[in-house]
Amino acid sequence: MSCSKLHTSFHSKVWGSEKLAPWFDDTVEKTGEVWFDPPADVPLLIKFLFTTENLSVQVHPADDYARTHHNGSNGKTEMWYILRTEPGAKIALGLREAVTAEKLREASLSGEIMDLLNWIEVQPGDMYFAPAGTVHAIGAGIALLEIQQISDITYRLYDYGRDRELHLERGVEVSHSDVHRHQDLSQCPYFRTTVIEVSGAATIEAPRTPSILICVQGRGTVDKQAYRAGEAWLLDQSSVAVEAETGSRFLLTYVPTR
Q: Going from the N-terminus, what domains does the chain have, and what CATH number goes with each?
A: 8-182 (2.60.120.10), 192-254 (2.60.120.10)
- Is residue 256 classed as helix, strand or coil in its secondary structure? coil
DSSP string, 35-48: EEPPPTT--EEEEE
* Residues taking part in catalysis: 156
Mean pLDDT of 45-61: 97
Give the model's confidence band at 257: pLDDT under 50 very low, under 70 low, under 90 confident, else very high: confident
What share of the chain has pLDDT > 70, as a percent? 99
116 φ, ψ (degrees, to nearest 5): -85, -20
Helices (H), the chain: 63-69, 101-110, 113-116, 168-174
- Is residue 173 classed as helix, strand or coil in its secondary structure? helix
Per residue in 198-229, pLDDT tens?
999 999 998 877 899 999 999 999 999 999 99
pLDDT for position 125 = 97
Three-state SS letters, 99-153: CCHHHHHHHHHHCCHHHHEEEEECCCCCEEEECCCCCEEECCCEEEEEEEECCCC
Mean pLDDT of 16-22: 98
- Average of per-residue pLDDT values in the chain: 94
pLDDT for position 40 = 84
| pTM (two decimals) | 0.95
pLDDT for position 258 = 67
- Is residue 169 classed as helix, strand or coil in its secondary structure? helix
Per residue in 101-160, pLDDT tens?
999 999 999 999 999 999 999 999 999 999 999 999 999 999 999 999 999 999 999 999
